[in-house]
Chains A and B, each alone.
Chain A
């Protein structure tokens, strides 16, 4: 089997928690911090750490606003993040196709 697709998998996205965040954001224009936290069952600290990592990589943009005098943090995928996520899925599909063809 050609190991190339596996080696090319984006390690940043490949981590379980970050993959979950990317998956949620890929299906929605934007999501609030609490929506993601409750959907994934993560702690605030864990989610914050992962989001920061994705933000530093340029995959996720974070907006802090106010709604009814309460802080509202929303996240969305950047175009770079969306492309990286699509590439990641394509590589997963390649791995599956390779194994089937073997």
Chain B
């Protein structure tokens, strides 16, 4: 009897300590914002006809910087609205968890931008761009999965979605003639990053509880 009481107390303490370290900002507006940027970015890249891998990589790195800055501003606005620290411990943990994979993604993007002409001597431009999308998708999935340990569980599943999408795209690249197909690399970016965030954001908008906004 007394053991049950003490064990329940310890379990409550454990749960509360975990909750304390969990990131609790509302993710719906952030996800919708990132989704809109992704879709607009795809439309912009397609309209500007940035088909060469170097310009493709630089263009999408710029789009991702806009997305990250905007997301941070949204987080900051939520923190200010609730009278809380912007750079709180949970926010720091999420940022630290995502940073390594995002930095590697940045590195691959810059590598393609710098050595695109050399790569193009061996591969056709679309293969290089799609290869970069595969890497970015996988790395972003890993970043989300890592951050998911300090966020609601859905983020880890969302991360898994990117990892699977990256693997499927890799398989399509390896076993089908993707470069001969009419699929635009910008459209792929728009669907994988823009469309998925938009869909997830809309889902969260209807399911996220208002109390999670704190």
Using a CB–CB cutoff of 8 Å, the interface residues on chain A facing chain B are: 1, 6, 19-20, 23-29, 31-35, 38-41, 67-68, 70-72, 74, 89, 92-93, 95-96, 99-100
Contacts and interface: CB of A to CB of B under 8 A. Distances in A.
Nearest to B13: A23
Given A92-B6, A95-B2, A99-B2, A27 B84 contact: no
B17 A67 contact: no
Interface of B is mostly: helix
Closest 6 CB pairs of A and B: A99-B3, A23-B16, A27-B17, A38-B214, A27-B20, A24-B20
A100 to B, nearest CB: 7
Interface of B: 2-3, 6-7, 9-10, 12-13, 16-21, 24, 80, 82-85, 88-89, 211, 214
A92 to B, nearest CB: 5
Interface of A is mostly: helix
Contacts of A70: 80, 83
Contacts of A25: 20
Nearest to B214: A38
Contacts of B84: 32, 34-35, 72
Nearest to A20: B16
Contacts of B12: 19-20, 23
Contact of A100 (B3, B10, B80): B3
A27 B10 contact: no
B137 to A, nearest CB: 33
Given A19-B9, A23-B12, A92-B9, 9 more contacts: A20-B12, A23-B13, A24-B17, A28-B21, A32-B84, A39-B16, A39-B24, A70-B83, A99-B3
Contacts of A93: 6, 10
Contacts of B24: 35, 38-39
B97 to A, nearest CB: 17
Given A27-B20, A27-B21, A89-B13, A32 B6 contact: no
B20 A71 contact: no
B10 A71 contact: no
Given A6-B2, A96-B3, A32 B10 contact: no
B83 A1 contact: no
B85 A32 contact: yes
